[in-house]
């Protein structure tokens, strides 16, 4: 595959990913994977205008920030076939706990669609949880306890 990347900063591309303009990214992409911080520029970035800028249907993966994707616009694009499917580790609706995300009577229609859709994979913000990250987290906790009590 050819891996393309787009960033506001220059010279972020390397041997693994060719940096291109947003226009070229939208012309060539089959899969869009978001790796962005939450800023004023990325808040609601993936909306209907952004999605419709793509020249062909594509797959969307968001493991970055939930509020970067306008869920209702994503659902519209899924229904129309503009987005072929989505892997979402983060959601616009995120709160501190998924257990109490919504009560039964106030779940947004767009979220209900994502839950029921066969071309959407939802995970509870665990994409970065690797064996290595768990070991590092555990070691950080041990180090803090030792610093405090030893």
The C-alpha atoms of residue 100 and residue 111 are separated, in whole angstroms, by: 14
Exposed/middle/buried for residue 66 (C-beta within 10 Å: 0-12, 13-18, 19+): middle
Catalytic pick from 27, 65, 72, 132?
65
**Token pair of 121 as six digits:** 């994979």
Specify the DSSP element, H or E, that contains 62. Answer: strand 58-62
Q: Which of 27, 94, 99, 118 is catalytic?
A: 94
Indicate if 65 belongs to the active site. yes
Catalytic annotation present for 6 = no
The answer to whether residue 125 is catalytic is yes
Q: Which of 6, 27, 72, 125 is catalytic?
A: 125
Distance between CA atoms of 79 and 26, rounded to whole angstroms? 20
- Catalytic residue list: 65, 94, 125
């Amino acid at each position: 595959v050819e891996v393309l990347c787009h960033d506001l900063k220059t010279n972020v591309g390397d041997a693994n990913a060719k940096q291109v303009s947003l226009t070229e990214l939208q012309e060539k992409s089959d899969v869009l994977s978001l790796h962005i911080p939450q800023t004023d520029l990325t808040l609601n970035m993936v909306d209907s205008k952004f999605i419709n800028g793509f020249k062909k249907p594509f797959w969307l993966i968001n493991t970055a920030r939930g509020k970067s994707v306008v869920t209702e616009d994503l659902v519209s694009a899924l229904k129309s076939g503009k987005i072929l499917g989505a892997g979402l580790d983060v959601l616009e609706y995120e709160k501190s706990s998924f257990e109490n995300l919504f009560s039964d009577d106030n779940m947004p229609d767009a979220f209900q669609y994502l839950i029921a859709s066969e071309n959407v994979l939802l995970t509870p913000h665990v994409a970065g949880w690797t064996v290595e990250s768990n070991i590092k987290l555990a070691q950080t906790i041990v180090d803090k306890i030792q610093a405090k009590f030893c």
